Structure 1
């Protein structure tokens, strides 16, 4: 399953990316000589319409070879003859420029061709999230257990939710029976503003009356202040993170932070957020026994979800056991909105990761290679089509953003060259592009080696 899922993820997303370059090149009259899925020597393929379509030996990328586009660089990617040589090793005669060459097109046309791969990856992510919402619905936690209630955000009459014991299961709001957390939100929003409604729960059995405010926006704010129950149990630890260095293990249950008892994951993360770069003592339950470990949360700059202001928080690199997922059916317009919002959210998440990585707020040990991609692909595939599609959308955005990094041989590097050409009125010389492309290859190989090393260290528990 893992191998098949990995092949599907890489194959589809590389194809989508290169298809963007291909279509854009055709749209501005650039001759496409080769469309390759994979790098290195050809394994299989066919020719049609003057373009050779091939499957290459190394499934870690792909390329579209356009007429006149840095032939020397492309030969290195293809794994063919040395730059400036023919297939028999003899010097190649100078090539006569053609109007259909990539280099003969204006800067805007070349920028469009280079950008189209990234645009296609972002479009794929939007379409995948849209399809998930339209075909299955929007995902909501498949739980009804009440967690943290942020009463300071709630309308006064709705603060009665605080009277419900933590972990109790909500069963009914008014005359509406509840099935999942999405029903909690919808049931409250569907009530007549300014009225009172009963909220029933069990384990333990009981009910409370809440008074809804007359302002629907106040109801929405109050709904967002309701948290569902997540047990303070560690499900994952990032390699190289404070949790990893502090000896935190998967399966540990957090009992206390600096002697303050912990019942919920939200309580745990709130205390960690308040302790950036502060030595913090954790009391854990591990295998039926209590153990104490010390961690020092990293200082991370984040955005306050209520005010939008930049704040400084602590993070230790640990994740909880996730709740199950239910899907709430939506219409086409809501699905479009969901596709857009999910794509924007994932983009922000990945940009935040890169920012933290480059500013030293996150360890390079968090980088993963094809091994991590394979594991994640297999796990997503095992959870069903919507989860697998969601993972592909996430990875597609990841691929788009990474391709925009200003590293020669990546799309971002080509755009930098085009920007320089647009500013000074003449292109960067082939020799300089070759030199910088070689540097880019070294950088990429170094990043891939680091990521692969991280995965091997993780697999061997180092």
Structure 2
């Protein structure tokens, strides 16, 4: 508990500092007066003044701010514990006196810094620990519906089949599976397997898109081993422990079994430290869009990885690719959240964040740093949402100003900012309620 709190506060502190540093450096670069640089909101805990800027550590650990001369926003002033300046003479160094491009640069600099931080972390982790390959070559199932023409024979693979070779490539890990289909010559391709031993032959298209459909159709095998058990969950109440191996459900994953049986008592046959045990778990019922699914509060077990050392240039390539890939995944999640493709129950607050931060920290520094990078991208994308009081909301006002060729009035900004604050509070309440439901095993 203490560890989770400590690593969460450390992560939030670093990410907030980096975000606000982006605004600060950008403002200085276009000669905007910076009056305050604060980590956290609310009343001052400690600080000092150097030059024109007061540097603060404030009380409420949910964000930070850079206060710039001439940038009036009553809602944010109230959050920050500040007040509007009375009788202040306008200056050429005021935020509002700068051209739109300069203001847009300053407003987006915090988000850019969070993306840059994620890129640097992914690059550094790759350079230090190398690339990770999943040490698994077994196929759990094949989605025959997306197999391209010529590859239909892959649907004959049984659950648990181990891939041995793809053409001339020996398969040692899951990365070899992907590269085997992507790099094999066009035309006839033989795939040899074990358990059962066989040879599957397909006709491989020249199209990279069709080859990626083949990779997407092959689901990676995962042993039915219990991962991290969430506190207060049905799994914990039923006596499951991390590392328990579930037996007797070959061909079915724990996730599929639990999701399809909400509020139904399930009997789990286990192996734990060489002993055979039986535990009874009743998954909780959770709404997922139009359907109801079961959850028992267990994370997927960690896969086994092998490391391969790479050079600095390759590390930069991997860092960039991972930053882009995770950004796309998060953007897709946000889009589906607003269109109903993802349940609002998937939103978590500081408790869920703390739990994940603690879990990754216990797995080691590499896992924790990767989570920090992922959350940095989350923070960047969250701030880009067009909600007044967020960076995206301020950029939206600038966009309207550019189209209308005159600034949005302060009164209009304040009205929309109040609406934005209400929306943010509603989202926070929803996220907190989801966390409490999880903690209570609901």
**TM-score band, normalised by the shorter chain?**
0.7 to 0.9
Aligned equivalent of 1:19: 21
Residue 232 of structure 1, CA deviation: 6.1
State the Cα deviation string for residues 1-47 of structure 1 (Å, max 9, x = none).
Answer: 21221022101111111111111111111111111111111112222
CA distance in 2, matches of 1:384, 1:293: 30
Aligned equivalent of 1:393: 373
Where do residues 27-176 of structure 1 align in structure 2 (5 Å cutoff)? 27-70=29-72, 72-80=74-82, 82-83=83-84, 92=86, 94-149=87-142, 153=147, 162=156, 166-167=159-160
Residue 133 of structure 1, CA deviation: 2.7
Give secondary structure in 2 for the equivalent of 1:347.
helix
State the Cα deviation string for residues 156-204 of structure 1 (Å, max 9, x = none).
Answer: 79958956x6435567889987653335555787888889889574xx5
Give secondary structure in 1 for the equivalent of 2:57.
strand
Where do residues 196-211 of structure 1 align in structure 2 (5 Å cutoff)? 199=192, 201=194, 207-208=197-198
Task: Determine if contact 1:20/1:117 at 8 Å carries over to the other structure.
Answer: yes
Q: Which runs of 5+ in 2 are unaligned?
A: 270-277
Evaluate the alpha carbon distance shift between residue 415 and residue 160 of structure 1 in structure 2; reply closer, same or farther with a 3 A threshold: closer
CA distance in 2, matches of 1:234, 1:9: 27
In the alignment, structure 1 residue 325 sits paired with structure 2 residue 305: yes
CA distance in 1, matches of 2:294, 2:328: 18
Evaluate the alpha carbon distance shift between residue 347 and residue 189 of structure 1 in structure 2; reply closer, same or farther with a 3 A threshold: closer
CA distance in 2, matches of 1:457, 1:230: 28
Task: Determine if contact 1:36/1:55 at 8 Å carries over to the other structure.
Answer: yes
CA distance in 1, matches of 2:59, 2:283: 48
CA distance in 2, matches of 1:435, 1:296: 37
In the alignment, structure 1 residue 336 sits paired with structure 2 residue 316: yes
TM-score (norm 2): 0.76
Backbone CA RMSD of aligned residues: 4.5
Which of 366, 390, 401 aligns to 1:421? It is 401
Evaluate the alpha carbon distance shift between residue 213 and residue 24 of structure 1 in structure 2; reply closer, same or farther with a 3 A threshold: same
Which of 314, 323, 326 aligns to 1:346? It is 326
Evaluate the alpha carbon distance shift between residue 190 and residue 403 of structure 1 in structure 2; reply closer, same or farther with a 3 A threshold: closer
Q: Which runs of 5+ in 1 are unaligned?
A: 85-91, 239-243, 301-313
Residue 341 of structure 1, CA deviation: 2.8
Evaluate the alpha carbon distance shift between residue 126 and residue 67 of structure 1 in structure 2; reply closer, same or farther with a 3 A threshold: same
Task: Determine if contact 2:288/2:345 at 8 Å carries over to the other structure.
Answer: no
Aligned equivalent of 2:275: none
Residue 417 of structure 1, CA deviation: 1.6
TM-score (norm 1): 0.73
State the Cα deviation string for residues 177-235 of structure 1 (Å, max 9, x = none).
Answer: 7653335555787888889889574xx5x754566978786887756654431246786
CA distance in 2, matches of 1:131, 1:98: 43
Which of 261, 265, 268 aligns to 1:286? It is 268
Give secondary structure in 2 for the equivalent of 1:19.
helix
Aligned equivalent of 1:10: 12
Give secondary structure in 2 for the equivalent of 1:368.
coil
Residue 62 of structure 1, CA deviation: 0.5
Task: Determine if contact 2:36/2:53 at 8 Å carries over to the other structure.
Answer: yes
Residue 395 of structure 1, CA deviation: 0.9
Evaluate the alpha carbon distance shift between residue 134 and residue 282 of structure 1 in structure 2; reply closer, same or farther with a 3 A threshold: farther
Give secondary structure in 1 for the equivalent of 2:160.
coil
Give secondary structure in 1 for the equivalent of 2:46.
strand
Task: Determine if contact 1:158/1:222 at 8 Å carries over to the other structure.
Answer: no
Task: Determine if contact 1:235/1:250 at 8 Å carries over to the other structure.
Answer: no
Evaluate the alpha carbon distance shift between residue 295 and residue 44 of structure 1 in structure 2; reply closer, same or farther with a 3 A threshold: closer
Aligned equivalent of 1:408: 388
Task: Determine if contact 1:76/1:83 at 8 Å carries over to the other structure.
Answer: no
Evaluate the alpha carbon distance shift between residue 353 and residue 197 of structure 1 in structure 2; reply closer, same or farther with a 3 A threshold: closer
Aligned equivalent of 2:272: none
Moved more, 66-75 or 118-127: 66-75
Q: How many residues align?
A: 421
Task: Determine if contact 1:148/1:267 at 8 Å carries over to the other structure.
Answer: no
Evaluate the alpha carbon distance shift between residue 295 and residue 52 of structure 1 in structure 2; reply closer, same or farther with a 3 A threshold: closer
Give secondary structure in 2 for the equivalent of 1:29.
coil
